[in-house]
Amino acid sequence: MEKRGGYRLTSLENWSRRQRLLFAALGYLVLAAGAGWALQGGLLNSIAGVIAMSLAIPMIGYGSRAVCAHRDGPMTRAERRFTREFSLAMPVYFVLVILLWGHARSLQLGWLRALVAVSPALPVAWLVWAMTRLVLQSDEMMQRLHLQALAVSAGVVSVLSMALGFLVAARVLHLDGSILLWVFPVLAWVYGFVTMWLKRRMRGG
Amino acid sequence: MRNRLRELRAESGWSQGDLAERLDVSRQTVNAIETGKYDPSLPLAFRIARLFGQPIEDIFHPDEE
């Protein structure tokens, strides 16, 4: 059952639709700029990139939801909690990947190298837990919608990974294990796209 | 399944958001039920019936063959 926090409107949801769209779009721009800085390398660029991307995540999270507020209603308590946790987990992920993970190869101690190398998986696990809780706290129709989106995304990722696995095993493609890093992002993108499409279909759009 | 949810909600002077809050579901769910895109579970149908003080069969009707 949906845990709702009443009809407390945030100031963002009171902005005009154009302002909300601009805010969310600005979030994507800041994210792209931050990623650009981080990719340039160097400590200062990396720190600037992490700060920019960390600021962009809540702008995108709250902004995108506020854009839909006129038709989906204000954020529920579960959605607010998820967005807050998403806005905290992603900066932790950026810090670990951009500022720490790159040093794993230079570490001498095996256990420390393994710990640093696997550290970005911790905020990902937090994110997966937050997403699971969001789904469990949704109402019956939204749970069904999430289940359908998960089934489609799991199917797409399974077929893609099996196809790539066969290509690599037959030595048609040469890929290393780092390709596995794309499994979760692809799953999340397909899941997000299918969820958006299903919500649109439910509205009759 | 056809239903009279929109009509009953209008008679009560509630918005979709008001009804969603009373039923403890999302506004998208209320909209999907009203437009016939989603058929509610039996427990939710009972909550709707109780809220409007009417039997389920007066609110929800099976599609004609």
Identify the pLDDT of residue A1: 44
Asked if B17's CB is within 8 angstroms of A141's CB, the reply is: no
The rounded percent of chain A whose pLDDT value lies above 70 is 95
A138 close contact with B: CB closer than 8 A: yes
- pTM for the model: 0.79
Identify the pLDDT of residue B65: 56
Asked if A7's CB is within 8 angstroms of B21's CB, the reply is: yes
Asked if B27's CB is within 8 angstroms of A72's CB, the reply is: yes
Dihedral over Cα of B3, B6, B7, B8: its sign: positive
Task: For residues A104 and A122, give the distance between their C-alpha atoms in angstroms, rounded to a whole number.
Answer: 16
Contacts of A76 in chain B (CB under 8 A): 26
Domain annotation covers residue B64: no
Asked if A141's CB is within 8 angstroms of B26's CB, the reply is: yes
User: What's the mean pLDDT in A124-152?
Assistant: 94
Task: For residues A79 and A71, give the distance between their C-alpha atoms in angstroms, rounded to a whole number.
Answer: 15
Nearest CA in chain A to B18: A7
Domain annotation covers residue B48: yes
What is the domain range of residue B26? 2-53
Contacts of A204 in chain B (CB under 8 A): 35, 37
Asked if A202's CB is within 8 angstroms of B32's CB, the reply is: yes
Asked whether the beta carbons of A156 and A190 are under 8 A apart, the reply is: yes
B3 sits in which H/E element: strand B2-3
Nearest CA in chain B to A79: B26
CATH number at residue B39: 1.10.260.40
Task: For residues A159 and A136, give the distance between their C-alpha atoms in angstroms, rounded to a whole number.
Answer: 27
Residue found by looking up tokens 């393994």 in the block: A114
What is the ipTM score, two decimals?
0.88
Identify the pLDDT of residue A72: 77
Domain annotation covers residue B32: yes
Asked if B35's CB is within 8 angstroms of A141's CB, the reply is: no
Contacts of B24 in chain A (CB under 8 A): 1-2, 4, 139
pLDDT in tens, A35-76: 999 989 888 999 999 999 999 999 998 888 888 777 777 788
Count how many domains chain B has. Answer: 1
pLDDT in tens, A168-202: 999 999 988 888 888 989 999 999 999 989 988 88
